Copies of this chain bind each other. A is one copy, B any other.
Amino acid sequence: MSTQRALARRAAAELVGTAALVAVIVGSGIQASALSPDIGVRLLANSLASAIGLGLLIALFGPVSGAHLNPVVTLSEWWSNRRTTRPREAALYVAAQLAGAVTGALLAEAMFGRPPGAWSTQIRSAHHLLLGEIVATAGLVLLIRGLQRIDRAALIPVAVASYIAAAIWFTSSGSFANPAATVGRSLSDSFTGIAPGSLPGFIGAQLVGALLGIALAALLYGPNHPVPPVNREAPISV
């Protein structure tokens, strides 16, 4: 398979994977809100479904594209491998993730018989929420880099899934920790939505959190040096 076609397939995996991820997050939020009056029960169901979905997608698409499904992960990986990876690849990944996130939100809306295309009205702009989002993203990046540094990258699917299940609860922001999913979630006026006006703050906090996570990993595991890509265990032969 030509490099060109291989890159197209990797971008397709990022697009389909991010679409599925956002459909799981938004869809389970809509379902849970329809079924339970208790917001705690809603978040239990939503956090468990989202975590499982993320873990399965990383396991399934990891060998195809690395299963970043998140611009913060792509940028952090690109930074670690910046001598060997072209920025064009990272840009393609981010574009595929954004397109996937929008697709996933619209699919979730359609599955639940709601007219797609409404913006979320849920404002999330308080300062302490931004602190929560910084903590959530820093933890995610530290977890991925740490597992790579201790040669436990095979644990990443389960570990990242578990992390998200917990972070949704222990951070004040709901632990979006993913700029593409954040954009997608602005397109559903439901439990997991975020108003478009709150996007810049959240995405900014996620980028700050990513830097903090990289710094913490360097502090705890020693100076940074190139690491192999996330979970891209085995190439697909075709």
Contacts and interface: CB of A to CB of B under 8 A. Distances in A.
Given A16-B220, A41-B36, A44-B41, A169 B139 contact: no
Q: Which of A43, A112, A143, A172 has the most CB of B within 10 A?
A: A172
5 closest Cβ pairs, A-B complex: A36-B40, A222-B238, A113-B128, A27-B170, A28-B169
A52 B172 contact: no
A114 to B, nearest CB: 8
A81 B57 CA distance: 26
A61 interface: yes
A93 B173 CA distance: 32
Looking at chain A's contact residues, the main secondary structure is helix
Contacts of A60: 142-143, 146-147, 150, 159
B170 A49 contact: yes
A237 to B, nearest CB: 8
Nearest to A130: B111
A40 B32 contact: yes
Interface string A156-168: 0001001101100
Contact of A36 (B38, B45, B49, B53): B38
Nearest to A135: B111
Nearest to A20: B139
A82 interface: no
Interface in A40-69: 40-46, 48-50, 52-53, 55-56, 59-61, 63-64
